[in-house]
Each structure stands twice: as structure tokens, then as C-alpha cells.
């Protein structure tokens, strides 16, 4: 356990005290539908019947108005716009990406909520408004998991206007 203290005669200065919580997670009806759709390569959102905003991923009810979304779903593009980004230079356990890497808040076309993901681009190229598209695993590896999307990559489209995403920053 105490790999920091391997030298048998060194004083023990640090101990590991991990805390682990083991859940059996039930996705519920709405998220299950979302996950079954992503296994087919489809990205489902749901529209709030009160203000028409499209929530992604789909969920059972509107967090703002408390109304149920029912069965109607909206299929979204796997293209979107970088709303904000961060360059990660500090390693984190459980994230096996090579440093530095870019995380993005991406607004998928047709959605009104942002998705947090990773962007494969040169550090100097990433910018707000950049147009990006999801890169998927090979189709035969798709499962009911958001991990079907590996990362996003830039695409050759003009940057989105600031007004088009400013309320999502």
C-alpha cells in the first residue's frame, strides 16, 4: 500500500487513505433512451415544452421549469462550437491522456446546453467559436456509453459568431 515508503528504514511520512464508494447506478428511462440511441450513433436531446430550449443529454424533466419532457426527442448533430476551453497541464489519476491536452465546453448544433469533452488540436489553435466535430470509435465498438465519442476535432468551417454561443459561456 504505502509505496511512498518502500525504503524499509525511511520514516513513514505519508499513508494512502483511499475512500471508495461502489454504486449500482440505474440510468432511469430518459438517460437509458439516450444511451440506447448513442449505441446507434445518435445524439438525443429533449426540448422543454415551456421555453423550447433543447437539453443534451436528454433527461426526464426540465431542471428550470420542473415539467416532464415526455417522449419527444430531438436528434442533434455531432458538430458543434467551442464555447470555452481549458488547457490541462496537471496530471490526474484516472485520466490517461498525455499532457498537455485541451478540454472544451462544446455546444452541439441544435442544443442549448454544453457538453464537456476533449479536443484534439494544437494548443495554439484552440479558440472560442471554433467549429468542431465528434470523432467516434469504430462502429463495431459502439455500446450504450458516451465513450463511443473519443474526442472532438476541428473542422474546416468559419468560426461561429460570439452572439451564437454567448449565453452558454
Q: Does 90 bind other proteins (CB under 8 A)?
A: no
Q: Does 16 bind other proteins (CB under 8 A)?
A: yes
For the bound state, the minimum distance from the C-beta of residue 124 to other proteins, rounded and expressed in Å, comes to 33
Q: Which of 12, 90 has the CB closer to other proteins?
A: 12
Integer Cα distance of 106 and 121 in angstroms: 14
Strand partners, 84: 105
For the bound state, the minimum distance from the C-beta of residue 61 to other proteins, rounded and expressed in Å, comes to 13
For the bound state, the minimum distance from the C-beta of residue 29 to other proteins, rounded and expressed in Å, comes to 6
Site map (CB under 8 A) of other proteins, residues 36-55, x = contact: x-------------------
Strand partners, 67: none
* Residue 23 CB burial class (10 angstroms; 0-12, 13-18, ≥19): exposed
| Per-residue exposure over 110-123, b if at least 16 CB sit within 10 Å of its own CB, e if not | bbbbbbebbbebee
Q: Does 24 bind other proteins (CB under 8 A)?
A: yes
Q: Are 95 and 127 in contact (CB under 8 A)?
A: no
With residue 164 as reference, give the H or E element that holds it: helix 162-165
Among 70, 87, 95, 125, binds other proteins (CB under 8 A): 70
Q: Which of 71, 167 has the CB closer to other proteins?
A: 71
Q: Are 56 and 82 in contact (CB under 8 A)?
A: no
Half-sphere exposure of residue 113, counting CA atoms within 13 Å on the CB side?
A: 17
Integer Cα distance of 82 and 114 in angstroms: 9
Q: Does 116 bind other proteins (CB under 8 A)?
A: no
For the bound state, the minimum distance from the C-beta of residue 65 to other proteins, rounded and expressed in Å, comes to 19
Q: Does 2 bind other proteins (CB under 8 A)?
A: yes
What contacts 143, CB < 8 A, 6 or more positions away?
Answer: 39
Q: Which stretch binds other proteins (CB under 8 A): 31-39, 45-53, 107-115, 116-124?
A: 31-39
| Interacting residue ranges for other proteins, rule: CB under 8 A | 1-2, 4-5, 8, 11-29, 31-33, 35-36, 70-71, 93-94, 144
Amino acid at each position: 500500500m504505502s509505496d511512498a515508503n518502500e525504503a524499509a528504514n525511511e520514516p513513514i511520512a505519508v499513508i494512502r487513505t483511499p475512500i471508495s464508494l461502489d454504486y449500482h447506478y440505474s440510468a432511469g428511462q430518459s438517460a437509458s433512451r439516450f444511451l440506447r440511441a448513442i449505441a446507434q450513433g445518435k445524439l438525443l436531446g429533449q426540448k422543454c415544452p415551456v421555453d423550447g430550449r433543447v437539453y443534451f443529454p436528454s433527461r426526464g424533466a426540465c431542471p428550470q421549469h420542473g415539467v416532464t419532457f415526455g417522449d419527444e426527442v430531438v436528434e442533434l448533430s455531432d458538430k458543434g462550437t467551442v464555447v470555452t476551453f481549458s488547457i490541462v497541464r496537471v496530471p490526474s489519476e484516472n485520466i490517461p491522456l498525455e499532457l498537455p491536452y485541451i478540454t472544451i465546453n462544446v455546444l452541439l448544433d441544435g442544443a442549448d446546453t454544453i457538453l464537456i469533452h476533449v479536443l484534439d488540436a494544437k494548443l495554439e489553435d484552440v479558440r472560442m467559436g471554433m467549429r468542431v466535430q465528434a470523432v467516434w470509435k469504430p462502429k463495431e465498438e459502439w455500446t450504450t456509453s458516451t465513450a463511443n465519442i473519443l474526442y472532438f476535432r476541428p473542422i474546416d468551417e468559419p468560426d461561429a459568431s460570439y452572439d451564437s454561443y454567448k449565453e452558454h459561456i
